[in-house]
Amino acid sequence: MTVTVNGEATELADNTTIEQVLARHLGPGRAVSGVAVALNGEVVARTEWGGRRLRAHDRVEVLAARGGG
């Protein structure tokens, strides 16, 4: 299925969880502290990352701190 991750179309296996998307997007061993996830414009709590399965055409935003503001 195709899911948009940080604005880029990404091919993922069906039933991929948010936790799996993070591992793939951040690279192995990268800490997930200081990271937030939005799914289709809504906040997904950290506690839901493991259980939340994506569907085709979902929009995932993986966010972190950046200098600014």
Partner 1 sequence: MDDPFIIAGVTFSSRLIMGTGGAPSLDALERAVVASGAELATVALRRVSPAARGSVLDVLERTGCRLLPNTAGCFTARDAVTTAQLAREAFGTDWIKLEVIADERTLLPEAVELLDAAETLVDDGFAVLAYTNDDPVLALRLEAAGCAAVMPLGSPIGSGMGILNPFNLALIVDSLSVPVILDAGVGTASDAAIAMELGCDAVLAASAVTRARESATMAEAVRKAVEAGRLARRAGRIPRRLYAEPSTTFEDLPDLKPVPHPD
In the complex, the residues that contact partner 1 under the rule CB under 8 A are 6-7, 25-27, 30, 34-38, 41-43, 45-46, 61-69
* Nearer residue to partner 1 within complex by CB, 13 or 45: 45
Strands 8-11 and 35-39: unpaired
* Nearer residue to partner 1 within complex by CB, 1 or 26: 26
Shortest distance (Å) from residue 67 CB to partner 1: 4
Cα separation, 54 vs 69, in Å, equals 32
* Nearer residue to partner 1 within complex by CB, 2 or 43: 43
Cα separation, 51 vs 17, in Å, equals 6
Structure token digits, residue 61: 């935003």
